Structure 1
Amino acid sequence: MAYLALIFNALIWGLSWWPFRQFQAAGLHPLWATVTLYLISLGVISLSAGRAWREFLGTPSLWLIMLAAGATNTAFNWGVALGDVVRVVLLFYLMPLWAVLLARLILGERLTGLALLRMVLALGGAAVVLAPEQGGFPLPSGLADWLGVLGGFTFALNNVMLKRESHRGAHARALAMFSGGVLVAGSAALLMGVQGLVPWPSLPGWIWLLPLTGMAVLFFFSNLALQYGAGRLPANVTAIVMLVEVPAAAISALWLGGGSLDLKTAIGGACIVAAAVLAALERNGGH
């Protein structure tokens, strides 16, 4: 059941790009969709564990988790709805590179040989994926690429901070993550909406509330599934199982026209995934 729970979570995230694009085509920008999804989840958590609000509001370190989790969801959801899904997901999974640096800075973890190897692999893979066809320095080529990189960085920060604050109550940590999705995505949507950069929510009819509510339920249970699976399996196993998200996103995007895969992206992606696998192996002591 723990394995199935993690696979369920990875599949939900790997396939989430498609409904986000459908909502966007109907008039609901991914930022507003993110706000709606996490507002529903936040309401459920608040009703079931209202007392956790006191711990959350009184713990500044949980506010950083709120911002990191909110930025992760905002960047990922917007990125996969906007750009090439395969590229965005691969750039998101540069997370092990950022995790090495952040763990050193925040947790004081030493840099091992395996950590340096996965840094080189991740950087090399990113350079191959981002290498311009006409030559030049490999940098993100558009907003979607930057959102993928940002999402991976904040996801790494979120994971490092969750490790640091693992002694906090589970409900308080959940409140931090769900409220982050509402606060960060909502703030970005409001600021850009006022400037005319993001359209205000405008669904064609109430019938669209049904799939939106259904997606909110799936996101809520996928979060519970992650907590269930991660709490019952070793961290290295969890990390490897979660990589199911990469092929789920890539295959669905190639099938449904949400992305493309050339030789350059495949080679770079293989290096990035290899870095993520090495990160999982290192959590198990390098065996």
Structure 2
Amino acid sequence: MSDGFRNSWGRGLTAGWPTLAIMLGASVWGLIWYPLRMLAALGVTGTAASALTSGAGCLFVLLLRRRAIATVRWHWLLPALALAAGVTNLGFVWGSIHGEVMRVLLLFYLTPAWTALFAHFILHERLTWSGAALAALSLAGAMMMLWSPQLGLPVPGNLAEWAGLAGGMGFAMSNVLILKASRVLPDMKPEMRTATIFGGAAVFSSFASLFEAMPAPPAGSHLATAVLLVMGLGFVLGTNNMLVQYGLSRVPANRASIIMLFEIVITALSAWLFAGETPGPREWAGGACIVLASALSSWVHRTKAKPPVGTHSDPDRKDRERAMV
């Protein structure tokens, strides 16, 4: 084997690690619903599961990256980001426990529509025709998926689907606020934004648990199993977030956004294998519109981000693009 071939192969392998990190991160989110349902079967409600796993994830990140705490500075964006993250996490967890996983996730992924709206008012980005078209495409996919002659209006049919929809809105708001925070608080370490997100989810879900009927708490061996699951999920979620951050820091934002859609594939397969959920033609067609809108949204952002020929690139642009994923 020649040195040139070995060097080329080595560079290709090194360049593939960030992509693999993002795919692994997306796979974790595509499978996380199953251990959450295991917690629910043990008597841990959706709100409590969201609070406990998020709190464990926050604690793990703070312990692992405690030196980065010194980079935190007070700003109103931090509680706003924590609140948006709380809505995101609770909507995803509660919806995936109580509803059809695939439908909840597709409603969660209506982010192009909400991102265009929130970015217009918070980041003062002009709503372009392309952005409006992508928002319309994703909303059309949701209407196609939800409409039926028996149900009438194409709206979510149960609380779990409404939770997925609200979680997706929170996710879009989190993306916009992370982008704004990266501009306003450039010295704040990314892992501290992660801790803010997990901490906000823990506090919000703890408050929401006061309004959910609590079954008998797990006891005996069930309690030990529930504690191990919570600790394990906290470790997995914290590690997974840092793994994805590693990938996002080395992969162009538009490509990373498309790779993250791998989560939908993993969710569809796991829902079929573990829950016996098989989407019908209408769900496939509506989901295809939502996925296409997300993929095209990445391409549009990439096109806008390219600097004009002959000009110097913005050194902070890569960080801003990364935050939008």
Shorter-chain TM range is over 0.9
Within 1, Cα distance between the matches of 2:211 and 2:73?
27
Within 2, Cα distance between the matches of 1:19 and 1:92?
19
Corresponding position of 1:183 = 203
Alignment length (residue pairs): 283
Within 1, Cα distance between the matches of 2:149 and 2:177?
38
Alpha-carbon shift at residue 211 of structure 1 (Å): 3.1
Corresponding position of 2:44 = 28
Within 1, Cα distance between the matches of 2:79 and 2:97?
27
Within 2, Cα distance between the matches of 1:207 and 1:199?
17
The equivalent position to 2:243 in structure 1, one of 221, 225, 232, is 225
Superposition pairs of residues 63-74 of structure 1, within 5 angstroms = 63-74=79-90
User: Secondary structure at 1:285's aligned position in 2?
Assistant: helix
Contact 2:144–2:154 (Cα < 8 Å) also in 1: yes
TM-score, with normalisation over the residues of structure 2? 0.82
Amino acid at match of 2:188: G
Corresponding position of 1:124 = 140
Corresponding position of 2:152 = 136
Superposition pairs of residues 18-167 of structure 1, within 5 angstroms = 18-50=34-66, 56=72, 58-134=74-150, 136-166=152-182, 167=186
Alpha-carbon shift at residue 108 of structure 1 (Å): 1.2
Corresponding position of 1:250 = 268
Alpha-carbon shift at residue 51 of structure 1 (Å): 6.3
Contact 1:29–1:201 (Cα < 8 Å) also in 2: no
Which of these two proteins has the greater Rg computed from alpha carbons?
Answer: 2
Within 1, Cα distance between the matches of 2:261 and 2:242?
18
The equivalent position to 1:169 in structure 2, one of 188, 199, 205, is 188
Q: Residue 101 and residue 207 in structure 1: after superposition, are their counterparts in 2 closer, same or farther (change >3 A)?
A: closer
Corresponding position of 1:279 = 297
User: Percent identity between the aligned chains?
Assistant: 34
Amino acid at match of 1:79: G
Corresponding position of 1:192 = 211
Within 2, Cα distance between the matches of 1:104 and 1:263?
34
Contact 1:84–1:260 (Cα < 8 Å) also in 2: no
Alpha-carbon shift at residue 164 of structure 1 (Å): 0.8
Contact 1:84–1:258 (Cα < 8 Å) also in 2: no
User: Secondary structure at 1:136's aligned position in 2?
Assistant: coil
Alpha-carbon shift at residue 218 of structure 1 (Å): 1.1
Q: 1:9 and 2:25 equivalent?
A: yes
Amino acid at match of 1:181: A
Indicate the structure whose relative CO is greater, using CA pairs within 8 Å and at least 6 residues apart.
1
User: Secondary structure at 2:218's aligned position in 1?
Assistant: coil
- Judge which range, 147-156 or 213-222, deviates more: 213-222
Corresponding position of 1:264 = 282
- Ranges of 4+ aligned residues in structure 1 off by more than 6 Å: none
Amino acid at match of 1:214: G
User: Secondary structure at 1:154's aligned position in 2?
Assistant: helix
Q: Residue 213 and residue 78 in structure 1: after superposition, are their counterparts in 2 closer, same or farther (change >3 A)?
A: same
Amino acid at match of 1:192: F
- Cα-Cα RMSD: 1.9
Within 2, Cα distance between the matches of 1:84 and 1:44?
30
Q: Residue 258 and residue 54 in structure 1: after superposition, are their counterparts in 2 closer, same or farther (change >3 A)?
A: farther
Q: Residue 172 and residue 218 in structure 1: after superposition, are their counterparts in 2 closer, same or farther (change >3 A)?
A: closer
Amino acid at match of 1:4: L
Within 2, Cα distance between the matches of 1:24 and 1:49?
31
Amino acid at match of 1:16: I
Contact 2:72–2:192 (Cα < 8 Å) also in 1: yes
Alpha-carbon shift at residue 113 of structure 1 (Å): 2.6
